[in-house]
Chains A and B, each alone.
Chain A
Amino acid sequence: MTRERVRVTAGAGRPGAPTRGIALPGAPVDDAEAAYARALRRSQLRLAVGTLLGFVTVTLVLLGALTLIPELDDIVLLGVPLSWLLHAFGFYPVIAGFAILYVRGANRNERRWRALRDEGA
């Protein structure tokens, strides 16, 4: 960031390029940096939506198994039908699993962004 500023100041001092380096209010200070930030936001959104779709798919499969396989009602463990046990306890490991997968992916995206930014600076 500091290095960029030095270059811009020098550019503004040269005749023939008087408007270079004047920042409009709200305009991104550094195009490359803004592009990296946008890319990071997109990849995080892709990751989040992908994780959500994965979670919904697994949930629907589990739900389908519960509603479409009547045999699950007949298997009884500790006095409770397996279908009830799966409904009561089966979804939490799925939720936690997708949460852990997402955090790994999100951290990886941020590491990539850091590497890009440090390369560009």
Chain B
Amino acid sequence: MNALLDLVAVAAVVGATVLIGAYGLRVSRTTSDFFVASRTVRPVWNASAISGEYLSAGTFLGLSGLVLLSGAEGFWFPIGYAAGYLLVLLFVAAPLRRSGAYTIPDFIEARLESRFARRVTSAGCLLIGWLYIVPQLHGAGITLQVVADIPPWVGAVLVAVLVAAAAAAGGMRAITYVQAFQYWLKLTALLVPAVLIVFAVNGGAPDIDPRVVFPAEAGPSGLDAYAAGSLLLALLFGTMGLPHVLVRFYTSPTGGSARRTTVLVIVMVSVFYAVSSVIGLLARVVAPDLARPGVADTVALVLPARVFPGIIGELLTALVVAGAFAAFLATSAGLTVSLAGVISQDVFSGSVRSFRLSAAVVALVPLVIALLTAPAGLVASVGIVFVFAASALSPVLLLSIWWSRLTARGAVAGMVTGAAACGVAFLVHAAVGGVGLAAPLLAQPAAWTIPLATVVTVVVSLTDRAGAPVSTGAYLARLHTPGRG
């Protein structure tokens, strides 16, 4: 591997990010520019930006690593991520766009007329966002370590500082263009090596035995029904609860365009996942020796040099490194912008200055966590975030859009129950491993935590004597009817 070439690639991505961000800074003028790009972003750009932000380290490096490590069950993650957007489209996209709120806490406050429900939602968003940024920083650390033997903390610090600076400088407007660019960069960075390696492998070495490389017991038929089902449930419902996913719908001009944008996003992320799955399949053919926990996540970086020795392999590796950095930057930038929006409106006055201060605070906390913890499997860490989002925020969000009798007390009870149930499940699982029959329930808790949070929300709302806010009917009408014209 050519460390210099890879570092040049990282520098080029960073440079392009700063340049495009600076262009965004020139056109960001008002508070509304900072938060939601003034709602003038075109569907194709908006969809590229949403996809760019959504495709994180977990999918760029982690997916191929997981397919290499544990076989076809790794495919459930990208399928769940893409289907999560289908649920966003069905239940959330257009109504949230019409709500006129900037962030999820804004929306919950407007809908339930409760400052307290807002605060609890903000805390949930912060927790989920921070948990999600940590694996991105770990991914950056691993990448620099593999390609240039640089200590992992350097990559984490580099990404955190860049993201905080870019977000503070340009807000959502700058981030939109940066992320649209990063989607196409990420796609190219996997597509080009994937196509070349497919041709090389099919032309050169047909001496592999499919039964050994793709054994049936690691294939789709060797499926654990509960684990796969619970995981899919978490991924399906988790997407809508991610803070950086929802804030994007506020940048579409109308509810109808929010829907069109979401369909484009589904197509764009699906194309990326398909390419990433090709890399995963190739990894099983070319690099079975890397199928070890901790090492498997680096397979996408190592693969090109394995197949093409010499300069072509080095150039392809540099391209993959550039794409991987785009992945860390895009997801952590999107999260930082939406979390900074939450903090600046909740803790400070919501002005542009407080947004900048909040961006710095938001990036610092996960950096400290990332420096204090060791990287676990990237896909697994991201999976935990989805379980949290699906249990704590998604049930309340869905009910607040579709159910008129939801009350603030019910929402708070549901969010706290969902978050606490997941937290306890994961902590107990981490502490004692498995407890007989309960082990799968603790390892993949979404199948019971999502219904639990939903039932608690509904029951507490129905028994709440204060009742739903009087303006609920009018507010729901606004969410579900298109604007005049």
A interface vs B, CB < 8 Å? 25-28, 33-34, 36-38, 40-41, 44-45, 48, 51-52, 55, 59, 63, 66-68, 70, 73, 76, 78-81, 83-84, 86-89, 91-92, 95-96, 98-100, 102-103, 106-107, 110, 113-114
A113-B482 Cα distance, complex, nearest whole Å: 9
Question: Are B263 and A103 interface neighbours, CB within 8 A?
Answer: yes
- The interface residues of chain B lying within 8 Å CB-to-CB of A98 are 86
Question: Are B471 and A26 interface neighbours, CB within 8 A?
Answer: yes
Q: What would 6 A/B residue contacts be, using CB atoms closer than 8 Å?
A: A28-B477, A40-B480, A41-B476, A83-B219, A91-B83, A106-B259
- The interface residues of chain A lying within 8 Å CB-to-CB of B481 are 36-37, 40, 110, 113
Chain A nearest Cβ from B90, distance in angstroms: 4
Within 8 Å by CB of A95, from B72, B86, B220, B402, lies B86
- Of the candidates A48, A91, A113, the one having the most CB atoms from chain B within 10 angstroms of its own CB is A91
Question: Are A34 and B473 interface neighbours, CB within 8 A?
Answer: yes
B281 at the A/B interface (Cβ < 8 Å)? Answer: yes
A85-B165 Cα distance, complex, nearest whole Å: 42
Besides the known contacts A36-B481, A51-B90, A99-B262, 11 further A-B residue pairs in the complex with CB atoms under 8 A apart: A45-B402, A67-B220, A68-B221, A70-B216, A80-B214, A84-B281, A88-B75, A102-B86, A102-B89, A103-B263, A107-B259
Given contacts A40-B481, A70-B216, A95-B83, contact A87 B72 (CB under 8 A): yes
Question: Are A41 and B480 interface neighbours, CB within 8 A?
Answer: yes
B79 at the A/B interface (Cβ < 8 Å)? Answer: yes
Total inter-chain residue pairs, C-beta < 8 Å: 140
A106-B98 Cα distance, complex, nearest whole Å: 15
Question: Are A73 and B221 interface neighbours, CB within 8 A?
Answer: yes
- The interface residues of chain B lying within 8 Å CB-to-CB of A78 are 198, 202
Question: Are A106 and B94 interface neighbours, CB within 8 A?
Answer: yes
Question: Are A80 and B90 interface neighbours, CB within 8 A?
Answer: no
Given contacts A84-B220, A106-B259, contact A52 B90 (CB under 8 A): yes
- The interface residues of chain A lying within 8 Å CB-to-CB of B280 are 88
Top 3 closest pairs, chain A to chain B, by CB: A26-B470, A37-B477, A92-B270
Given contacts A79-B206, A80-B214, A84-B220, contact A99 B274 (CB under 8 A): no
Q: Closest A residue to B79 by CB, please name it.
A: A91
Q: Closest B residue to A27 by CB, please name it.
A: B470
Q: Closest A residue to B206 by CB, please name it.
A: A79
A41-B216 Cα distance, complex, nearest whole Å: 46
A48-B95 Cα distance, complex, nearest whole Å: 13
Question: Are B274 and A89 interface neighbours, CB within 8 A?
Answer: yes
For the residues of B in contact with A, the DSSP-based class is helix
- The interface residues of chain A lying within 8 Å CB-to-CB of B223 are 63, 66-67
A87-B444 Cα distance, complex, nearest whole Å: 21
Given contacts A52-B87, A84-B281, A87-B220, contact A92 B274 (CB under 8 A): yes
A68-B221 Cα distance, complex, nearest whole Å: 7
Question: Are A28 and B219 interface neighbours, CB within 8 A?
Answer: no
Question: Are B90 and A102 interface neighbours, CB within 8 A?
Answer: yes
Chain A nearest Cβ from B21, distance in angstroms: 31
B54 at the A/B interface (Cβ < 8 Å)? Answer: no
Question: Are A114 and B82 interface neighbours, CB within 8 A?
Answer: no
A22-B166 Cα distance, complex, nearest whole Å: 52
B210 at the A/B interface (Cβ < 8 Å)? Answer: yes
Q: Closest B residue to A113 by CB, please name it.
A: B481
Chain B nearest Cβ from A40, distance in angstroms: 6
B423 at the A/B interface (Cβ < 8 Å)? Answer: no
- The interface residues of chain B lying within 8 Å CB-to-CB of A28 are 473-474, 477
Question: Are A95 and B263 interface neighbours, CB within 8 A?
Answer: no
A95-B90 Cα distance, complex, nearest whole Å: 12
Q: Closest B residue to A28 by CB, please name it.
A: B473
B256 at the A/B interface (Cβ < 8 Å)? Answer: yes
Chain B nearest Cβ from A48, distance in angstroms: 4
Interface string of B457-485 (1 = CB under 8 A from A): 00000000000011111101101111000
- Of the candidates A59, A88, A100, A113, the one having the most CB atoms from chain B within 10 angstroms of its own CB is A88
Given contacts A55-B83, A88-B72, A95-B82, contact A83 B220 (CB under 8 A): yes
A9-B266 Cα distance, complex, nearest whole Å: 50
B260 at the A/B interface (Cβ < 8 Å)? Answer: yes
Within 8 Å by CB of B259, from A25, A67, A103, lies A103
Within 8 A of A (CB), among B204-223: 206, 208, 210, 213-214, 216, 219-221, 223
- The interface residues of chain A lying within 8 Å CB-to-CB of B270 are 92, 95-96
Question: Are A73 and B216 interface neighbours, CB within 8 A?
Answer: yes
A78-B195 Cα distance, complex, nearest whole Å: 13
A40-B273 Cα distance, complex, nearest whole Å: 35
Question: Are A95 and B471 interface neighbours, CB within 8 A?
Answer: no
Q: Closest A residue to B213 by CB, please name it.
A: A79
